[in-house]
Amino acid sequence: MKVLMINGSPRKEGNTYTALHEMEKIFEKEGIETEILHVGSKDIRGCVACLSCKKTGKCVFDDMVNEAASKFQASDGLVVASPVYYASANGTLISFLDRLFYSTGFDKTMKVGASVAAARRGGLSASYDQLNKYFGISGMPIASGQYWNGIHGAAP
């Protein structure tokens, strides 16, 4: 089994990465292969609704989204993690996810999705909901925790 993990934070080893790394340790104990992609500091533009992906099978913008698409398709699960900015997920991550989910036509219904939000104070539940909608719309089972999948703190 393989799980692709997406770090939506611009801080490569900040709070969001720390949460992903803790999950990574558990996956490894269970013999599950993981890979973390850091997208939060990348120059990723939003979807422009050109529909080119419907003809070619990939996004017209040749960046990390197309690289991640094949990794996502080969994975059994996807974990998406984001810091909370103004009670929502990082805008770069949302642009990445919009394009990733829209441009990939493969069946996602049995890939498990999980999200994690990291905040200093509030906005965790709104961000958690925002990230989980990608999974729900795609028919992916959503892995939850004992409580909201969120972490609090101003430092890793």
Q: How confident is the model at residue 96 (pLDDT cuts 50, 70, 90)?
A: very high
DSSP state of 61: S
Q: Hey, CA dihedral for 135, 92, 155, 120, is it positive or negative?
A: negative
* Strand positions, DSSP E, 32-124: 33-38, 77-85, 88-89, 112-119
Residue 120 vs residues 22, 124, 136: alpha-carbon distances, Å? 18, 9, 27
Neighbours of 70 (CB within 10 A): 12
Position 151 scores a pLDDT of: 73
Each residue's pLDDT tens digit, 6-36: 999 999 889 999 999 999 999 999 999 999 9
pTM: 0.93
